[in-house]
Amino acid sequence: MISEEAGAKEGVLNVFSMWNDPVSFNLGKNSPSGGKYALESLQRASKAIEEGSIDLMITAPLNKNNIEYRGFNGHTGFLAERFGKEAIMIMVSEEIKVALVTGHIPISEVSQSLTADLVLGKIKALHQSLIGDFGIEDPSIAVLGLNPHAGDEGLIGKEDIEIIAPAVSHAREQEISASGPISADGFFGSKSYKHYDGILAMYHDQGLLPFKSISFDTGVNFTAGLSIVRTSPGHGVAYDLAGQGRASTTSFEESVRLACDIYRRRFNLAEEQYFIDDVEA
């Protein structure tokens, strides 16, 4: 147990508690106090990483409804605002990597939120992350269409031909191996995702539904595009499993591994520098 982040020792698991007084919350239930502690932890971790006391951040699931903070809609948005960068959410597993153009917004707002510049920016951000964070030299990217059958040549909406297709074309002009817009149902149904290094979905459920169907237990949420490394388990708070000993730790374990892998790759560190072989209580 350490009293401040700066006292952390290498080669061991350092445990730090922010609060001197007992922490009060109801296990497995939604509570304002739980949201308060979660936000304070996130703010403290952000400060510590800015000061250089810690190197990377792995966040636990939280209930956004508990957070009393102006405009808070999740870790990704908070960190993007805090670190002044254009973040992109990438869901990662051994089988598949899926990034999102739009995140936690109502489905009714997705279409009006899309622009060719936004889609192009996300393609470029995904491309850069696949190279810099995952070590893929010439990544291939599948860009999903918004409408059924990717708009069916304009018969089912114009967004695919007026927004997404031009963005893909501009990306290819910049020597990015992007394909699309691709009809999402056939793409996943035929397992074509196996032929691409990364996938860009237009909205949350378009990307997350197939991802979790394929990699629910092992999936990791990675916030790319930031100057810091942040990962999180690819699932929610699961109040119904709290305190029962039934929740799987696999996704959290994978979050730790992925964060360390990305950090090492960014800074060319040897694997031994992030190997935990002891625990300090």
Name the band, by pLDDT with cuts 50, 70 and 90, for residue 242.
confident
Q: In terms of residue numbers, what domain contains 92?
A: 56-271
Query: Left (φ > 0), alpha (ψ -120 to 50) or beta: where does 59 sit?
Result: beta
For residues 62-91, give the mean pLDDT: 85
**CA 41 – CA 75 distance, rounded (Å):** 12
Which of 127, 149, 146 is closest to 136 using CA atoms? 127
CA neighbor of 253 nearest in space, from 281, 224, 220: 220
Residue 273, pLDDT above cutoff 60: no
Domains of the chain: total:
1
Task: Decide if 264 is inside a domain.
Answer: yes
Whether 32 is covered by a domain: the verdict is no
User: Is the confidence at residue 91, as pLDDT, over 80?
Assistant: yes
Alpha helix segments (H runs only) across 84-164:
110-113, 116-132, 159
pLDDT class of 26 with cuts at 50, 70, 90 = confident
Structure tokens at 260: 């360390």
pLDDT for position 219: 96
Q: Give the pLDDT confidence score for residue 113 in this predicted structure.
A: 98
Q: Among residues of the chain, what percentage have pLDDT more than 90?
A: 65
Q: How confident is the model at residue 104 (pLDDT cuts 50, 70, 90)?
A: confident
- Establish if 179 belongs to a structural domain: yes
Q: Does residue 219 lie in a domain region?
A: yes
Per-residue confidence (pLDDT) for residue 278, from 0 to 100: 41
Residue with tokens 């254009």: 86
Which CATH number does the domain housing residue 223 bear? 3.40.718.10
What's the pLDDT tens digit per position in 200-223?
Answer: 999 999 999 999 999 999 999 999
pLDDT at res. 18: 84
In a domain, 140, yes or no: yes
The residue ranking higher by pLDDT, 107 or 268, is 107
**pLDDT of amino acid 89:** 94
Mean pLDDT to the nearest integer, 243-270: 90
Does residue 78 fall inside a structural domain? yes
Mean pLDDT over all residues of the chain? 90
pLDDT in tens, 149-171: 999 999 999 999 999 999 999 99
Residue 17 belongs to a domain: no
Per-residue model confidence (pLDDT) at position 8: 83
Predicted confidence at residue 269, as pLDDT, reads 61
Average pLDDT over residues 174-194: 98
Q: Is residue 182 part of a domain?
A: yes
**Strand ranges (DSSP E) for the chain?**
56-58, 88-92, 97-100, 140-144, 177-182, 198-201, 220-224, 229-233
